[in-house]
Amino acid sequence: MDSTTPEALAGMRETASPATLPADTLKADILWHVLYSLGRDNERPDRQTVFRALALALRDRLVEKWIASQRAIYAKSSKRVYYLSLEFLPGPFLRQNLIALGLEKEARDALTELGFTLDDVAGEEWEPGLGNGGLGRLASCYLDSMAALRLPAYGYGIRYAFGIFHQLIRDGQQVERADNWLRGGQHWEFERTHYMHPVRFYGSVREWVDEQGRLRHTLEGGSTVMAMACDMFIPGYRNDYVLNMRLWAAKSSREFEFSFFNTGDYIGAVEKKIRDENISMVLYPNDEAPEGKELRLKQQFFLVSATMQDIVRRFRKKGVAWDQFPRKNVIHLNETHPAVAIPELMRLLVDEELLPWEEAWYICVRTFAYTNHTVLPEALEVWPEELFRKVLPRHLQIIYEINRRFLHDVRRQFPHDPGLLARVSLIHEGEQRFVRMSHLAIVGSFSVNGVSAHHSNIIKESIFNEFYKIFPERFNNKTNGITPRRWLRQCNPTLAWLITEHIGTEWLTDLEQLKKLEPYAESAGFQKAWMEVRLRNKQKLAEYIHAKNGITILPESLYDVHVKRFHEYKRQLLNILHVITLYNRIRRDPDAGIVPRTFIFGGKAAPGYYMAKHIIQLINAVGYTINTDPRVGDMLKVVFLQNYCVTLAERIMPATDLSEQISTAGMEASGTGNMKFALNGAITIGTHDGANIEMLEHVGDENLFLFGLLSHEVEDLRRQGYNPRTFYETDSELREVLDMISGGYFSPGDPHMFRDIVESLLNHGDRYMVLADFRSYAYRQQDAARAYLDQPGWARRSMLNTARMGFFSSDRSMGEYARDIWGVEGV
Ligand code: H53
């Protein structure tokens, strides 16, 4: 019988359940889905169809393991972890799922028989860009590790119809295009169309007294939107354990539709539907700069309300008393974005379950844990009180009551510091009042953690110092980590293979095993093999750059890479000033013996962030000038890769020599890109900031190039009165660079184009101390170039970076959260 006929395929599925399918039936499953799920002729399916069918075939396997995992959690009656995040950046799923399920080879074979390669088919996937940058990507690394550790955990977020915008570079400038990621179909998820929770906004609070004489609060009026669950599966690495990431999509409430329709206002009903469903329409594209818009507050509450209903429903099934709630559940707040969960749980307990306030608060403060990810003042979330009252009137009342009791306690504990109350209050008083979400999160949680040792110290010593004095036991550190499955095994298969050949596979679930590579660092043979793999990766990236940007680069040149969100504190500007410095040295003396370099930039700027977008434009203008200057030739190339995202990061990390981590000291909470580069054998040039400092401790200072002011020096300098002009006046190379930019050297058609960038440095205080760090950066760059000339030395450094990255596995981070914060164990 022809194996592509429906009969043959259906027969195959009946005789074998997906979990136990022999390898050769993956192909049959693909063809089955091509026909029955996608409705296409399975005689000669195209690549996109095959990709979707393969995804569906894998989803079959994932859902079975997920059900089994859920049953195990129920059976053990485990304490559950709920990880709430407004952002997740999972990246493409196909390869990760194949690796976790151990089906890579089978998939390759099946696809070969169908006339495709895995690379081609994987290229069809459009990643869900449901996050902006570090925070969202961290959440996804953490889900991967929670699954690897078999933790009884659930990720909760929003299924934005449009994720982070697609970035194009047109005439050197960023242009934003909507990211319609759902257009390609939803092959990885299950939409639970019959599983919805109502979420209520607006309205007014009615106070009344019930028969028992209790004061009650009821929300009246307002409007209701439904939250529909969409589940995506996160498999653990070859452990048959699968977690779900439950993303909520907004759906218009049926009742409202009907009432409109009944009054004959058909168009009104449809308009209402569209308005409601707008809630989950788009991710706000600001990283570390809250937008403060009503829709964003509604998104936050939408996530929180639907999730809390889900949690309570699951808890109720157990039939135990409410005081057991914190023993059975822990709710983790990824930043303050979901912090309305605290007043929402209070509302459920006090208004609906009729618990006394004290009891409810006792439960609350034992349930929530909060991670802070930033100390930038402009990134600390606050909401205008008026807006809060309009959208969530009952929650504002509850926040006021939490605050009243909290300030009462503070007054008793610190009677001699009257100013303290205003400083720690949940409400900022001034011309306008604001709700301070970080204060709410700290007061309502039993644990507050920073994301690197350095950052956690800053939290305790400065931004939250007064809270640290009030609640010292709450503060702790959990240094970020990254998953080695995606950030080495998947993105760099040849290096992963070379490692495995020498030390076995244990590193995949115990990254400290990479230490076993250290003895090979001196072996000439291994160094050679290592550098060959790296060179091949660099060749591949060169091909990609040629195809995308039309620029030819030398694979042997030093790849100096700066990819991350564009933000002034991350100092892409410092980097480009150095690029121009090298350019000037070549112009002066083409035989100066400069090490050939390729500077690669990538990253998105928030659409409303003028300066960040302008810096992108400057980089592209400088790149154009340098790349077309015949005096430069192969010595220097500058490339801006558009639309930096997880998929692109996976191409770049394995091909990088030098990783730029050059934020102003004290401003980057942790960074996680720094870890991904180093794990793949790149050497870091960086400041004493975030997790760079711990990386230094692990890899040793001969294997990493640190430079620049320390965070306390940044503070001191600012206090003493920082004058950026002195650096301009005393450093002639720097002066030349700034004069070229402001004089229009890179913008001959519009000489004033970049003047304001130089102004911000010279005349507006240089907030990020670019000029103060310029010289030490340029010196360190020279050290890096010199080191690169000694290729065996570079190989050794590169290997030692990889070998010593074990600590930075997200498995280690999640293990610490589970043990020290959550009090949960693997199922
Ligand atoms: O979170 C990362 C850190 C990084 C920090 C980043 C972050 C966001 O991406 C968005 C908002 C926010 O408050 C912080 O900038 O340093 O590595 C994960 O912790």
Lowest mean pLDDT among 22-26, 345-349, 464-468, 500-504: 22-26
Confidence (pLDDT) at 591: 86
Whole-number Å distance, alpha carbon 307 to ligand 1 midpoint, is: 23
Confidence (pLDDT) at 470: 98
Q: Is 374 touching ligand 1 by the criterion CB < 6 Å?
A: yes
Q: Is 179 touching ligand 1 by the criterion CB < 6 Å?
A: no
Confidence (pLDDT) at 593: 81
| Band (18; pLDDT cuts 50, 70, 90) | very low
Question: Does the residue 550 lie in any domain?
Answer: no
Residue 24 pLDDT > 80? no
Whole-number Å distance, alpha carbon 452 to ligand 1 midpoint, is: 11
Cα separation, 139 vs 155, in Å, equals 8
Please name which of 509, 510, 478, 480 lies closest in space to residue 817, comparing C-alpha atoms.
Answer: 478
Cα separation, 449 vs 373, in Å, equals 9
Do 258 and 193 fall into the same domain?
yes
* DSSP summary character for residue 747: -
Q: Does residue 676 carry a catalytic annotation? A: yes
Do residues 643 and 88 lie in contact, with contact meaning Cβ atoms separated by under 8 Å?
A: no
pLDDT in tens, 74-128: 999 999 999 999 999 999 999 999 999 999 999 999 999 999 999 999 999 999 9
pLDDT in tens, 358-414: 999 999 999 999 999 999 999 999 999 999 999 999 999 999 999 999 999 999 999
Confidence (pLDDT) at 16: 42
- On average, the pLDDT of the chain sits at 95
Do 427 and 467 fall into the same domain?
yes
Alpha-carbon separation of residue 495 from 96, 498, 505, 651, 655 (angstroms): 17, 5, 13, 13, 11
Question: Among residues of the chain, what percentage have pLDDT more than 70?
Answer: 96
DSSP 360-390: HHHHHHTTEEEE-----GGGS-EEEHHHHHH
In this structure, how many other beta carbons lie within 10 angstroms of the beta carbon of residue 356? 11
Question: Which atom of ligand 1 lies nearest, measured to the CA of 136?
Answer: 9
The two three-digit tokens of residue 433, written as one number: 């009042």
Q: Is 604 touching ligand 1 by the criterion CB < 6 Å?
A: no
Confidence (pLDDT) at 257: 61
Confidence (pLDDT) at 1: 39
Do 463 and 326 fall into the same domain?
yes
Closest residue CA from atom 7 of ligand 1: 135
Question: What strands lie across the sheet with 329-334, from one edge to the other?
Answer: 189-201, 223-235, 242-252, 153-158, 80-84, 329-334, 368-371, 447-450, 475-477
Q: Is 669 touching ligand 1 by the criterion CB < 6 Å?
A: yes
Confidence (pLDDT) at 258: 65
Residue 458 pLDDT > 70? yes
Do residues 455 and 464 lie in contact, with contact meaning Cβ atoms separated by under 8 Å?
A: no
pLDDT in tens, 551-591: 999 999 999 999 999 999 999 999 999 999 999 999 999 88
Residue 9 pLDDT > 60? no
Question: Does the residue 752 lie in any domain?
Answer: yes
Q: Is 606 touching ligand 1 by the criterion CB < 6 Å?
A: no
What average pLDDT score do residues 169-190 get?
A: 94
Question: Does the residue 505 lie in any domain?
Answer: no
Do 136 and 255 fall into the same domain?
yes
Do residues 813 and 538 lie in contact, with contact meaning Cβ atoms separated by under 8 Å?
A: no
Residue 3 pLDDT > 50? no
Do 190 and 298 fall into the same domain?
yes
Q: Domain total for the chain?
A: 3
Do 443 and 585 fall into the same domain?
no
Residue 36 pLDDT > 90? yes
Please report which residue ranges of 379-491 form alpha helices under DSSP H.
Answer: 385-391, 393-413, 418-424, 437-443, 453-458, 465-470, 484
Which of 374, 570, 645, when mutated, tests ligand 1's pocket best, judged by the most ligand atoms within 8 Å of its CB?
374
Cα separation, 12 vs 21, in Å, equals 10
Do 48 and 149 fall into the same domain?
no
> Domain range for residue 605?
555-790
Q: Does residue 540 carry a catalytic annotation? A: no
Whole-number Å distance, alpha carbon 485 to ligand 1 midpoint, is: 21
Question: Does the residue 335 lie in any domain?
Answer: yes
Residue 12 pLDDT > 60? no
CATH code, domain with 223: 3.40.50.2000
Confidence (pLDDT) at 49: 97
Residue 10 pLDDT > 50? no
Do residues 373 and 339 lie in contact, with contact meaning Cβ atoms separated by under 8 Å?
A: no
Q: Is 106 touching ligand 1 by the criterion CB < 6 Å?
A: no
Lowest mean pLDDT among 6-20, 23-37, 234-248: 6-20
Do residues 619 and 613 lie in contact, with contact meaning Cβ atoms separated by under 8 Å?
A: no
| Band (670; pLDDT cuts 50, 70, 90) | very high
Residue 592 pLDDT > 90? no
Q: Is 287 touching ligand 1 by the criterion CB < 6 Å?
A: yes
Q: Does residue 565 carry a catalytic annotation? A: yes
The two three-digit tokens of residue 608, written as one number: 């409303």
Do 21 and 86 fall into the same domain?
no
Question: Does the residue 444 lie in any domain?
Answer: yes
Do 564 and 458 fall into the same domain?
no
Confidence (pLDDT) at 267: 86
Q: Does residue 317 carry a catalytic annotation? A: no
CB burial readout 507-539, b (16+ within 10 A) else e: bbbebebbebbeebbeeeebbebbbebbeebbe
What number is the ipTM of this complex? 0.99
Whole-number Å distance, alpha carbon 288 to ligand 1 midpoint, is: 7
Cα separation, 139 vs 641, in Å, equals 25
Do 612 and 472 fall into the same domain?
no
Do 224 and 352 fall into the same domain?
yes
Whole-number Å distance, alpha carbon 448 to ligand 1 midpoint, is: 15
Q: Is 192 left (phi over 0), alpha (psi -120 to 50) or beta?
A: beta
Q: Is 80 left (phi over 0), alpha (psi -120 to 50) or beta?
A: beta
Residue 709 pLDDT > 70? yes
Question: Does the residue 618 lie in any domain?
Answer: yes
Question: Does the residue 506 lie in any domain?
Answer: no
Residue 545 pLDDT > 50? yes
Confidence (pLDDT) at 100: 98
Confidence (pLDDT) at 186: 86
What average pLDDT score do residues 535-543 get?
A: 98
Question: Which atom of ligand 1 lies nearest, measured to the CA of 137?
Answer: 18
Q: Is 667 touching ligand 1 by the criterion CB < 6 Å?
A: no
Residue 22 pLDDT > 90? no
Do 86 and 61 fall into the same domain?
no
Write the secondary structure of 236-280 as one string of H (helix), E (strand) and C (coil).
Answer: CCCCCCEEEEEEEEEEECHHHHHHHHHCCCHHHHHHHHHHHHHHH
Confidence (pLDDT) at 498: 98
Burial of 442 (0-12, 13-18, 19+ CB in 10 A): buried
Q: Does residue 578 carry a catalytic annotation? A: no
Question: Does the residue 105 lie in any domain?
Answer: no
Q: Is 437 touching ligand 1 by the criterion CB < 6 Å?
A: no
Closest residue CA from atom 17 of ligand 1: 671
Cα separation, 526 vs 522, in Å, equals 8
The two three-digit tokens of residue 321, written as one number: 């008393």
Residue 179 pLDDT > 80? yes
In which residue are the tokens 């979330």 written? 381
